[in-house]
Structures are given as C-alpha cells and as structure tokens.
Amino acid sequence: MKSIKALVFDAYGTLFDVGSLSDGAERVFPGKGLGVSNGWRAKQLEYTWLRSLMHRYEDFWKITGDALIATCAAMKLTLDAKRQRNLMEMYLKLPLFGEAKRALEKLSSVPLAILSNGSPMMLEEMVRNAGVERMFRHVISVDEVKTYKPSAAAYELAVTKIGVEKEEIGFVSSNFFDVAGAKAFGFRTYWVNRSGRTADELGVSPDRIFRLLSDLLE
C-alpha cells in the first residue's frame, strides 16, 4: 500500500448495500422481494454489458428502470407507475455497509474516489443521502465516456481525474468482474469478498482479498 497514491472504490455492492433492496421489494411484492432484488440486479448488470457491446449506451438510471421492468415481467408481477417509482427511488437511498464509513474515515490520508456505473444524478443523490460526500475528492461516473465497466475507457477516467499513474491507484470492489477489469487495465486491485464467493475464471487475480472494507486498514 506504500506505493498507492489514491484509492478508488466501486459504489454498488462495495460501499452501498444493493442487497438492502430486497426489504423494500418485499414491501411492494410480498413473498417475492428477494427474487425481485436478485433478478433486478442481475438484469441491470447484464444490460450494461450488452449495451456496451452493442454501442447503444443509455445511462444507468434508464438501464436500472428497464431491468426492473424486465424482471417483473419475467416474474409475472404487475409493475404500475407507483410501484416502479417507489422501487427506483430506493436506488437513491441505498445504505452504506456497516463498516464502510469508519473505513473511509481511517483511509482518508490518501485521496479517495468513487468510480461507478451509476449516472451522475444517482451518485450525487446516493452519496449525499449517506452523508459521505466530503470524504471523496472525486465521484466519477462512466457516463462521461458512455460505456460501462469493465471497459478500459471507464478505468482510464480515474487516471485522468485523479492525475496519477494507473499503477499508483488501488481499486476496491466487491464485484469480481470489476476487479478483473481493473486488474487487466493495470490498477492494484483489492477484492472485498463478503460472501466468500469463488473467483471467476477470467485469467486475472486480485492483489489482495478482504472480507470487509475495514480489513483494508490492516
């Protein structure tokens, strides 16, 4: 870590608990909350990859809405305007993981940034609602390059914004595809593997694996 001049964090699933959506989805669709939450997240990621490959970019707010519609249609759930609005607004108020705020405070001796697929509006709302906007020197959205992680163009944004060499950036994510993309790009990578998942076979390995964000402090 001595050679690291900046730490860049993924947002969804790394700092902010996407899994918390299952509680809100359960209130909207009793007995189906976990299925809706898991399906929604999977479809959301799938759409980012497909749209990047097709060069048919839509911002993350639009993709998130489309993924919700597709998930509910597949589960034969009625998604009226009110339910859709309530569920979408939950994405703007995702809670931080329990250890995240303390970890960020302790790591503040180096510049901290977020690099996320989220649209600028989504990130601004979410970071402000969590009360951590002053902890980050940069909150970077891939919307600037109109393509999604794990595209190299997305990771290049962090290099440009922060102004250090890519080898001097430590990238932190709980999503293995994101870690793999960042490692292939040239970042030092730290995988926060909360659930003890097996690494995907993508030909790269993270520099370190942690269970919690607070483990970075060691």
Q: Does the predicted TM-score (pTM) go above 0.85?
A: yes
| Residue 171 predicted with pLDDT over 60 | yes
One domain, residues 10 and 74: no
Q: What is the rounded average pLDDT for all residues in the chain? A: 96
One domain, residues 117 and 202: yes
pLDDT in tens, 60-113: 999 999 999 999 999 999 999 999 999 999 999 999 999 999 999 999 889 999
pLDDT in tens, 135-170: 999 999 999 999 999 999 999 999 999 999 999 999
One domain, residues 103 and 199: yes
Q: What percent of the chain has pLDDT over 90?
A: 96
Provide the residue range defining the domain that includes 212: 6-17+94-217
Last residue of a domain, one of 33, 62, 90: 90
One domain, residues 22 and 11: no
Angstrom distance (rounded) from CA 143 to CA 190: 24
Residue 213 lies in a domain: yes
Total domains, the chain? 2
CATH number at 164 reads 3.40.50.1000
Residue 49 lies in a domain: yes
Q: Which residue in 10, 80, 178, 207 is the catalytic one?
A: 10
pLDDT-derived band at 35, boundaries 50, 70, 90? very high
Residue 1 lies in a domain: no
One domain, residues 137 and 150: yes
| Residue 1 predicted with pLDDT over 70 | no
One domain, residues 144 and 165: yes
Last residue of a domain, one of 54, 75, 90: 90
Residue 60 lies in a domain: yes
Q: Is 215 a catalytic residue?
A: no
Pairing of strands 6-9, 188-192: unpaired
Last residue of a domain, one of 90, 122, 140: 90
Burial of residue 12, with CB atoms counted within 10 A of its CB: 0-12 exposed, 13-18 middle, 19 or more buried? buried
One domain, residues 35 and 47: yes
One domain, residues 119 and 146: yes
One domain, residues 150 and 61: no
